[in-house]
């Protein structure tokens, strides 16, 4: 197993180098002058030259790339030209939002998608099956941004003054106290560095923070704000997972050992959950892994619609504002994250199917 992990890690090195190269090239290829984009159209040539020199943008491109790699290796992701602070700081501020959103969407899609898939496989060709599959087909075909807007319309306007009302935008309602848990616990907090960043990151995960500080009002508020975006973002993966769970279960349920299990008198529940479901997991895990990519892409759209300051939205803004620092840092982090997730999916294969380990 360890050998397998090491080999997979080794194989992802060229991809990581490629990612660095692509993000660097991309940031430099964005047309337009970063200086005038930051300092305004009226900046004179002398001011711009000095600004470029300060930011190291006047050096030849290969030297810039060398500096970039060296900085990355030290954990320095450069500075945001737009906000005038390190890109890592911005990442600490914005990443928790996207993590919470993607996690909620994934949770929703797995918790609803897998049971639906199993039920429609077990009750093959029943009305439950037909309805689920019709719904799943529509689910994969809906544009995320449309679904988000329609959900906001239904839940925030049509259902106004009912218990089902949900807020159409924002992360938490204004005026609710949201102190980080480390302050409430009276922890001695490091002045700067990785420790502080980590604490701040955790404290910005609103749901986690509200549980740690027993702030139930905040917990309820942040969950109600998360439902609509998570529904919008989670629908496509949910439909994909339901479809895959169904077809994978159908295949397994037709196997001889399932008939044997039934013949020796096991309850239907044991046969379905212990014998069939476990063996149908591999393709389901693949789909879950693949849909993580669509979650990160969809996060740009979902965050735009629901006015959430997450990674996707920030990256989009940075690209339009030619903010090299953020574009580089955020794309690298997202792509690394993505490679890591793919690695985890591969490792889970090896865990679920021992045959793969030995290949």
Partner 1 sequence: MTQLEIDIPKLDKEGISLKSVSLWQITWRRLFRRKSAIVGMVILGILIFIALTAQWIAPYDPIRSMLDVKGYPVKPVKRSSPCVYVFGCPQDKPQHIMGLDGNNRDEFSRLLYGARLSLMIGLTTVTFAIIVGTVLGALSGYFGGWIDNLIMRTMDVLLAFPSLLLAIAIVTVLGPGLQNALLAIGIVSIPAYARVVRASVLSVREMEYVSATRALGGDTIQILFRRILPNALTPLIVQGTLGIATAILDAAALSFLGLGAQPPTPEWGSMLGGERNQVFTAPHLVFFPGIAIALTVLSFNLLGDGLRDALDPRLAHVS
Residues in contact with partner 1 by the rule CB under 8 A: 14-15, 18-19, 21-22, 26, 29-31, 137-138, 140-147, 149-150, 152-153, 156-157, 293-294, 296-298, 300-301, 304-305, 312, 315-316, 319-320, 327, 331, 334-335, 338-339
Query: Smaller CB distance to partner 1: residue 100 or 303?
Result: 303
The dihedrals phi and psi of 86, each to the nearest 5 degrees, come to -60, 145
Minimum gap (Å) between residue 131 Cβ and partner 1: 13
Burial of 60 (0-12, 13-18, 19+ CB in 10 A): exposed
Burial of 296 (0-12, 13-18, 19+ CB in 10 A): buried
Query: Smaller CB distance to partner 1: residue 44 or 125?
Result: 125
Minimum gap (Å) between residue 209 Cβ and partner 1: 27
- Cα separation, 140 vs 238, in Å, equals 9
Residue pair 336/75 in contact (Cβ under 8 Å)? The answer is no
Strand stretches in the chain, DSSP E: none
The DSSP call for residue 154 is I
Query: Smaller CB distance to partner 1: residue 276 or 301?
Result: 301
Query: Smaller CB distance to partner 1: residue 116 or 305?
Result: 305
Query: Smaller CB distance to partner 1: residue 294 or 348?
Result: 294
Say how many Å lie between the first and final Cα of the chain, rounded: 11
Minimum gap (Å) between residue 110 Cβ and partner 1: 19
- Cα separation, 16 vs 273, in Å, equals 39
Minimum gap (Å) between residue 224 Cβ and partner 1: 18
Task: Give the helix/strand (H/E) hosting 204.
Answer: helix 194-204
Minimum gap (Å) between residue 145 Cβ and partner 1: 5
Minimum gap (Å) between residue 250 Cβ and partner 1: 13
- Cα separation, 184 vs 23, in Å, equals 40
Give the residue carrying structure tokens 């030619």. Answer: 322
Minimum gap (Å) between residue 141 Cβ and partner 1: 4
Query: Smaller CB distance to partner 1: residue 173 or 320?
Result: 320
Report residue 124 as tokens: 């093959």
Query: Smaller CB distance to partner 1: residue 115 or 143?
Result: 143
Residue pair 344/331 in contact (Cβ under 8 Å)? The answer is no
């Amino acid at each position: 197993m360890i050998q397998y992990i090491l080999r997979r890690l080794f194989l992802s090195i060229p991809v990581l180098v490629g990612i660095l190269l692509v993000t660097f090239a991309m940031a430099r290829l964005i047309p337009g002058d970063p200086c005038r984009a930051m300092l305004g159209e009226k900046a004179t040539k002398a001011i711009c030259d000095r600004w470029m020199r300060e930011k190291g943008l006047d050096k030849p491109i290969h030297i810039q790339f060398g500096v970039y790699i060296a900085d990355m290796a030290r954990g320095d992701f450069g500075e945001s030209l737009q906000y005038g602070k390190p890109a890592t700081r911005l990442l600490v501020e914005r990443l928790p939002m996207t993590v919470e959103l993607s996690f909620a969407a994934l949770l929703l899609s797995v918790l609803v998608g897998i049971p639906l898939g199993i039920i429609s496989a077990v009750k093959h060709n029943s009305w439950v099956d037909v309805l689920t599959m019709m719904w799943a087909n529509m689910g994969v075909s809906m544009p995320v941004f449309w679904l988000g807007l329609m959900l906001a319309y239904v839940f925030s306007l049509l259902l106004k003054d009912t218990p089902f009302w949900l807020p159409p935008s924002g992360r938490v309602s204004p005026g609710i106290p949201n102190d980080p848990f480390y302050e409430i616990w009276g922890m001695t907090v490091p002045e700067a560095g990785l420790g502080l960043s980590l604490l701040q990151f955790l404290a910005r995960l609103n749901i986690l923070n509200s549980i740690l500080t027993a702030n139930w009002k905040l917990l309820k508020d942040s969950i109600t704000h998360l439902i609509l975006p998570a529904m919008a973002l989670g629908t496509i993966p949910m439909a994909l997972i339901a479809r895959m769970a169904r077809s994978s279960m159908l295949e397994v349920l037709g196997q001889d050992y399932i008939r044997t299990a039934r013949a020796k008198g096991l309850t239907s529940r044991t046969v379905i959950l212990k014998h069939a479901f476990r063996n149908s997991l591999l393709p389901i895990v693949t789909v879950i892994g693949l849909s993580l990519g669509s979650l990160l892409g969809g996060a740009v759209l979902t965050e735009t619609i629901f006015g959430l300051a997450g990674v996707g939205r920030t990256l989009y803004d940075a690209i339009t504002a030619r903010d090299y620092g953020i574009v580089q840092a955020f794309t690298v982090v997202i792509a690394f994250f993505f490679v890591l997730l793919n690695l985890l999916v591969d490792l889970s294969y090896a865990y679920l199917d021992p045959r793969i380990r030995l290949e």
